[in-house]
Amino acid sequence: MKMNFKLGALAAAVIMGASAPAFAFMEGGAGGNGELLLNVRYYGGTSATSGGDDISALFDLGMRMDDMIAANGQAGFSKAWDLTTGTYGASWNQLLSFASPANASRIEFSVIALDNTDYDTVGGSRYLSTMNVEKVPSLTNANLKGFQNMEQYINVNNSRDTHATDANGASVAMPTDPSNTFFGAIGGSGQGDNWVAKTTVDTTQSLGTEQNFWFLTTGPAGSTGPASPFGQAVKTPFGVDLNHDGVIGTGEFSKFTLNEAGVLSFSAVSAVPEADTWAMLLAGLGMLGMMVRRRTGV
């Protein structure tokens, strides 16, 4: 009798578990392979940390850091997300309606991903971030490790809106919402725009801007062991370095863009021949032309 009861209870639990919606959540830095996250924000007032005139939205893009890094340097790699439909639609439309079409130019966006599992070792802190600069300014290992403060923002939003019910959900927040939910008031006052004041770069830019993308790790490059807090982080521009100088130039590397129609796109430039390759190609074409002229007697 007891055995039958246990089996019946187990079967009931299995059925209930199968019928209940699976809890979906964003993966931050604690798991070692954080997901790409899109932040969209509108600051309508003079302060981004108070009042009811500001709003932000957080979108789970459903792509892990390691997968994105694996695609780094692949010419022609591209991806797009439509924020106007599905689990994203309500959050995007709410933010756009709140700001109003007249203020669309003041809406800004950033894309990030976190890994802080071994944050105190060389290469242990890993972050992806839009930074619309050709060269990332001074960034110490200590400040890069401080990027982990964004984790609280991710964790608290995991139970909100469609993040709690869908694999790749979205949520919106204002300064008056629970602590840490709003992109402009993480920890009560710190803005996510600059990784809670751990970088001097504003990672958010207006809709329509083609933002550069960076892979940041604790340094120095090529070493192992603990990362000196005073050492410089390694800053790698994401994409195809056509002239191999480590600096983003015109037509180089990969770009994130979010337009007013609600489409986020990532695209990498297609690799093109370098100068010496062009010279060899033109020389080859010249020789081919000479051979054709000889054969035709021209």
Q: What is the DSSP string of 217-243?
A: E-S-TT--SBPPTTSBPEEEE-S--TT
Please give the pLDDT value at position 89: 97
Confidence of residue 3 (pLDDT cuts 50, 70, 90): very low
Which residue is associated with the tokens 């130019």? 105
Instruction: Give the residue, 291 or 261, on which the prediction is more confident.
Output: 261
Comparing CA positions, the residue from 264, 267, 266 lying closest to residue 108 is 264
Could you report how far apart the first and last alpha carbons of the chain are, in Å? 101
Comparing CA positions, the residue from 114, 61, 100 lying closest to residue 258 is 61
User: Beta 211-217 vs 54-64: how paired, if at all?
Assistant: unpaired
Residue 44 CB contacts under 8 Å (≥ 6 apart), including other chains? 53, 54, 55, 99, 103, 106
Confidence of residue 128 (pLDDT cuts 50, 70, 90): very high
CA 88 – CA 105 distance, rounded (Å): 21
Please give the pLDDT value at position 256: 95
Comparing CA positions, the residue from 132, 105, 59 lying closest to residue 207 is 105
Which residue is associated with the tokens 């199968």? 18
% of the chain exceeding 90 in pLDDT: 59
Number of C-beta neighbours around residue 147 at 10 A? 25
For residues 71-79, average pLDDT: 78
CA 275 – CA 278 distance, rounded (Å): 5
CA 203 – CA 109 distance, rounded (Å): 8
Report CA torsion sign: 195, 199, 200, 202: negative
3-state secondary structure of 64: strand
CB 110 within 8 A of CB 39: yes
CA 101 – CA 294 distance, rounded (Å): 66
CA 216 – CA 114 distance, rounded (Å): 10
Report whether pLDDT(271) > 70: no
Average pLDDT of the chain, as a whole number? 81
For residues 210-219, average pLDDT: 93
Report whether pLDDT(64) > 70: yes
Report whether pLDDT(279) > 90: no
Which residue is associated with the tokens 């054969």? 295
For residues 157-169, average pLDDT: 94
Please give the pLDDT value at position 74: 72
Minimum mean pLDDT range among 80-84, 191-195, 283-287: 283-287
Please give the pLDDT value at position 267: 84
87 Rama class: left (phi>0) / alpha (psi -120 to 50) / beta? alpha
